[in-house]
Amino acid sequence: MNLQFSIPGFVSRRYINETKGRGLFAEKSFEKGELIFSERPLFSVQHVYNRATAWTCGNCFKFLGSLNKQMLHYRKVFGIKEASELPEFENLFNFHTKVYSCFAKCGEKYCSEECRNVAFYSHHQILCVGEQTPDSNPMYQFKKHSIETNELFLLAAQAIACLICRIANDPSSDQPTQIKIPLTTNNNNNNNNNTTTTTTTTTTTTTTTTTTTGNSSQDTIIQAPLVERICNEFFSEYQHREWWDVRIDGNFTLEEAKVWSNESLELLRKALIPLLQNNPKTNNQVFIGTVLSMEFYSHLLGLLEMNDNSIGFFNPLELFRRDINAIGKGPFTTPPIQKNLKDRSNAVLASTVDAFRQYHNEQDDQCDQEDCNDHEHSHGDSMDDDDHHGHGHSHGHGHGGSHGHGGSHDDHAMEDNQEEEEDDVVEEVFPSFDGFGIFGLQAMVNHSCEPNITVVFENHDNRAHIKATRRIEAGEELFHTYIEETNPYDVRQEDLITYGLKWECGKCLEKI
C-alpha cells in the first residue's frame, strides 16, 4: 500500500477549509476527454451478488479465460449441458488469459501467476479458507456473516490482512517504539499537518500495562515503527469516523450497525488471533489488542464507507453479443461480420442468454417481493452503452448502494451522455463486473452535482482512469459525483443526506 497524494505536474492534494477538508486539484489544464491520471485500488472486492455471474480474476478483476471459457463457465453455473463453441473470428472483444487457482484451492481464480502471488502475499494468505473448510471455521463464519449482513466487513478484513502481511514481512518490525495511532474522529485535517482534534493511542514496549488518559485514549503497546507508519498514513490521510456515525440510511439502523460490527469483529478475532500469535513479528498482545479492537474496526469501517469508489466494467461476452448484433452504440466489428458467423454465434450463445434472462427476471421478482431498495445493481435497463453512471451497487444487505463516486463503466462513457434519450436503454444480458474499493487519489476528490471528471475502467480491469468531462484549467478543483447527478434537486438533496452533509454546488444553489 503506497499512498500517493500528488502526481507532480498533473494533480495535487490541497487543504480547502474545515467543512470540505482536502480536495484534489489540477496542476495543468486538461481538455475534455483527456486522461488526468490512472490508479489501482489499495483494497478492493467484487460484490458478492456478482461473483457467480461475473467470472473474474481475484486480484485485478479482469474477466477470465476467453469468450468461450466465459460462456462455458456460465453454462456450468446454470447446469446447461451443451458443448458447442463460438466460432473463431477476429473480434474487438476477444481476449485470452490463463486461469490459475489459489495455492490453497479455495476456489479463487486468477488471470496470471503474478495476480495470484500479489493477492496471496498481500492479504489472501490471511483470509483464505482453503479447500473443503468445515462450516465451523471462524474465517468461513466471518465471511458468511459479512455476506448476510454487510460486505463492507470483507473490505475491512482485506485492509487488516494487508496490514498484518506488511508487519509480518517487514524486517524491521521487531524494533519496538512509541507510536501514535490517530483513531478518533478526523474530519478536517490539514494537508500536511495531520493534526486531528483528537487524542491518540500512544504505545511503548517498555511496559505491558494499559493506562487511560484524561481523554479516554489508552496508552498501549505496539511494536514497530512500521505499524505506526501504516496506521498513521492510513488513518491520518483519509477522513474517518466510527462507522455508525457515517452513513445510516433506510437500509440499516444504527443498532444493526453496532450489533453486526460486534459480531463481525468477534469472528475476525477468533480467526486471526491464533494466526497472529503464531508469528513472532505479530505476536504482541497490544498489537493484537489494538488492530482487533472495536475502536480500530469501527473507524476502519467508517473510513472505508466514507472513501470507497465503485468499480465496474462490461463483461466481454456482453460486448461481443452487442457487437455481433449491432446493439447499442458501441464500437462494432469492422467490417460487419458475415451473417452466417453472426447466426452461428447467436445460436451458440442462445441457451446461456436464456438462462441469464431468466436469472435476471427471478432477481427482479425477488427484489419486488422483498420491497428491496438495496439492489441497485440493475441488470440491464440502466446500462446503455454510453452512460454507466449511477450503476449503483449494494455492499451486501443493507449497505445500500455505493457512494458511487464516479465509476463509469468503460470507454464508451466519455461520449455525450447528457444527450442520451431516456428510453434509449439496452438490455444487459451478461452481467458486468461490479465491485468497490479504496483508491488513494480518488478518495481525495470531493463531490459536485456538476462534476468535471468521470472515472472509467477502460482496460476492463480494476485500474481506474480519471478523465476530464470538460476543459479543466490549471488550479481548478476536480469534482466527481457521489450520487446520480441527473436526478432532480429534491432527490439529490435526499441522496446527499446519507453523506451527512448538504452540498452547495451551483446547480444545487439554483435548485435545478
Ligand X SMILES: C[S@@+](CC[C@H](N)C(=O)[O-])C[C@H]1O[C@@H](n2cnc3c(N)ncnc32)[C@H](O)[C@@H]1O
The residue ranges that bind ligand X (CB under 6 A) are 19-23, 238-239, 306-307, 443-444, 446-448, 499, 501, 503
- Looking at the Cβ atoms of 432 and 498, the one nearer to ligand X is 498
394/401 Cα distance (integer angstroms): 4
Q: Minimum CB separation from ligand X for residue 391, in Å?
A: 19
Q: Which residue is nearest to ligand X (CB)?
A: 21
Nearest alpha carbon to residue 245 among 201, 301, 290: 301
Burial class (CB in 10 A: 0-12, 13-18, 19+), 335: exposed
Of the pair 20, 145, the CB lying nearest ligand X is at 20
Nearer to ligand X, 127 or 444 (CB): 444
Nearest approach, Cβ of 75 to ligand X (angstroms)?
Answer: 41
Between 19 and 215, CB nearer to ligand X: 19
Q: Is the Cβ of residue 54 or residue 478 nearer to ligand X in the bound state?
A: 478
How much is the CA Rg of the chain, to the nearest whole Å? 23
Place of cell 479543466: 472
Q: How far is the CB of 235 from ligand X (least distance, A)?
A: 12
Cα dist from 197 to 146, 185, 200, 375, whole Å = 32, 8, 10, 38
Choose between 86 and 444: whose C-beta lies nearer to ligand X. 444
Which CB sits closer to ligand X, 255 or 504? 504
Closer to ligand X by Cβ: residue 497 or 501: 501
* CA–CA distance, 161 with 406 (Å, rounded to integer): 27
- Least separation, in Å, of the C-beta of 444 and ligand X? 5
Q: How far is the CB of 142 from ligand X (least distance, A)?
A: 27
Q: In the bound complex, what is the minimum distance in angstroms from residue 239's beta carbon to ligand X?
A: 4
Answer for the pair 227, 61: CB distance below 8 angstroms, yes or no: no
| Secondary structure, 3-state, 240-273 | ECCHHHCCCCCCCCHHHHHHHHHHHHHHHHHHHH
Amino acid at 443: A
> In 348-362, which positions are buried (b, 16+ CB within 10 angstroms) versus exposed (e)?
bbebbbebbeebbee
CB of 430 to ligand X, least distance (A): 31
Distance (Å, whole) CA 162 – CA 138: 19
- The span from the CA of 242 to the CA of 233, in Å, is 18
Joined together, the cell numbers standing for residue 222 give 505496539
Region of 132 (left: φ > 0; alpha: ψ -120 to 50; beta: rest) is left
Q: How far is the CB of 154 from ligand X (least distance, A)?
A: 20
